[in-house]
Amino acid sequence: MKSQSSPSTANTNAGNPLGIAPTGRLLAKFAIPAIISMLVNALYNIVDQIFIGQGVGMLGNAATNIAFPVTTISTAAALLLGIGGASNYNLEMGAGRERKASEIAGSALSTLVIIGTAIAAAILIFLKPLLIFFGATDNVMPYAIDYVGIIAIGLPFFTLSVGGNHLIRADRSPTYSMVCTLTGAIINTILDPLFIFGFKWGIKGGAWATVIGQFISAMLVVLYFAKFRHMHLERNMFKPQLIHLKAISSLGLASCINQIAIGAVQIVMNNTLRYYGASSVYGSDIPIACVGIVSKVNMVFLAICIGIAQGAQPIWGFNYGAKKYDRVRQAYRYSATACTIIAIFFFLCFQIFPHQIISMFGGGSDLYFKFAENYLRIFMLLTFANGIQPMSSGFFTSIGKAGLGIIMSLTRQVIFLLPLIIIFPMFMGIDGVMYAGPIADAAAFVLAVVFARRELGKMKKA
């Protein structure tokens, strides 16, 4: 049975469009900017990889792949605080507790800067040992040192930009959030060819272009909370409070773990490819370079699905907090449909145009293209079912079901894919890595559907 909202909650909810506007229109309003923002974040890596591949070559591509765990670790921290802060903010606003919601947002923003600076310092201090751990070969190491040594400088700006934009969307400004990330990406895209080809800085140029773009995005986030915010923020609210950080971490942990899992899989995969590639016809450098490209291409697909979930997050969270479960269920159905349509489109692209996709990132030998095309087709074979799992993880987090969100985050990467990319190559050699992907995708899809149907069924009864 639905419980009655308090008078203060009812007054807060009455004029909020999240609780009364048509769900489909709301989802489009919030999801489209979120998708663009996520695509822009993905393009930071992809644009670098394209220009570096064209200007530096295969070893440059391999170096950006080695650097990928740095990005995922930083993104994990940003999502822990950004999604956790935004989810708690919307739940508290839906329940009519405006001051507590603002205190949560302030704690999240200040901690984003602190944790980004700490990650940057750790990477710079332990740079070479970390790159060896990430799977760098002797040939790739000089390029990886140049690239990672520079992008580490921009990590405080990166974490503030990624995490802060979730709070901006929660504050009902999805378009401004989109502008923040889009501006940084445009600057990065302009500076990449200028620095790499014009100034002949090579892979260092790509890194500096990325840092400058991230700095601009972060400054726009600061400007929003200084001048344009809707939420009420006082100076003392920016002091991190442990009680709020616990709540933030609880609801942000699923997305954080998902990113850490992606980074862990990438590290294990790089080392697996380095080991088994050495005894194959491809060598170690070709598989590491190719897998990096496929990971970046897959980021585009995942960015759209995660963007849909992020756009739906304020709708799910506010209406769940306001006990409007019919609107929560409707928003989930719309989100799942959109993710499935996108997944089918990318599945067709990966199966029909693998050579064209790989060629965007520079040329290579016949062996290079043979491995890359086979890997893209086989590893991404179940892409058409891959949209539901990341979207459902965001759904459970948004409605305060942190445990289910964490389980959803762990299924594909940790529970299924990580063991498979260790076990399969023992029997199939380097090809075993390819076949681990679709099996992990199938298992994660089944679990996501089962858990989502159960939770939506509970809401229907309520």
The confidence score (pLDDT) of residue 7 equals: 46
The two three-digit tokens of residue 25, written as one number: 């229109």
Q: Percent of the chain at pLDDT above 70?
A: 96
The confidence score (pLDDT) of residue 292 equals: 86
Model pLDDT for residues 2-34, shown as the tens digit of each residue: 334 444 444 445 567 788 888 899 999 889 888
Model pLDDT for residues 99-141, shown as the tens digit of each residue: 898 999 999 999 999 999 999 999 999 999 999 999 999 999 9
Model pLDDT for residues 33-48, shown as the tens digit of each residue: 888 877 876 776 787 7
Q: Of 55, 38, 297, which Cα lies nearest the Cα of 177? A: 38
The confidence score (pLDDT) of residue 15 equals: 61
Mean model confidence pLDDT for the chain = 89
Model pLDDT for residues 267-319, shown as the tens digit of each residue: 999 999 999 999 999 999 999 999 888 988 888 898 899 889 988 988 998 88
pLDDT average, residue stretch 434-451: 92
